[in-house]
Amino acid sequence: MLSDGIIDDKEHRLLEKMALSKGISPQKLSMIIKTVQEKGLYIPHPKTTEAAKEFLKCLIRMCLADGKIKPSEQTMLKKLVSKMGYSDIDINMMIKKERSKLYSTAKSVIKQ
């Protein structure tokens, strides 16, 4: 989302949903977004393999919020995950898996 400098409506709604699930108020989320836009983002290295995998899944879902992963988002993902020990093949597989999950969810919602 910040790799392309734009937070579109879908990305913002996903951020709000994620923040709400973690008990973060809309006001605090706005403050976090403003701070990140002004000062950049520091991402601590996850302590466990499972935490790294969950973090990566969240990043991928955020990138897919607008329906596609832009080249700048792909580059950002690869830089981040290489520091966590993941390869380009790992990231591509996880993107395909998360895209498939989102597609299946959307398909089941449409059927209802």
Position 77 scores a pLDDT of 83
Chain-centre distance of CA 57, in angstroms? 7
Does residue 79 belong to any structural domain of this protein? yes
- For the chain, the domain total comes to 1
Which pair of tokens denotes residue 77? 């993902």
Does residue 60 belong to any structural domain of this protein? yes
Does residue 53 belong to any structural domain of this protein? yes
Return the percentage of the chain with pLDDT > 70, whole number: 93
Nearest to 55 by CA among 28, 93, 94: 94
The pTM assigned to this predicted structure is: 0.62
Separation between Cα atoms, residue 33 and residue 63, nearest integer Å? 16
Does residue 4 belong to any structural domain of this protein? no
Does residue 64 belong to any structural domain of this protein? yes
What is the tens place of the pLDDT at every residue in 48-88? Answer: 888 888 888 888 888 887 778 888 888 888 887 787 888 88
- Split at pLDDT 50, 70, 90, the class of 93 is very high
- Split at pLDDT 50, 70, 90, the class of 108 is confident
Domain carrying residue 37: 9-111
Does residue 96 belong to any structural domain of this protein? yes
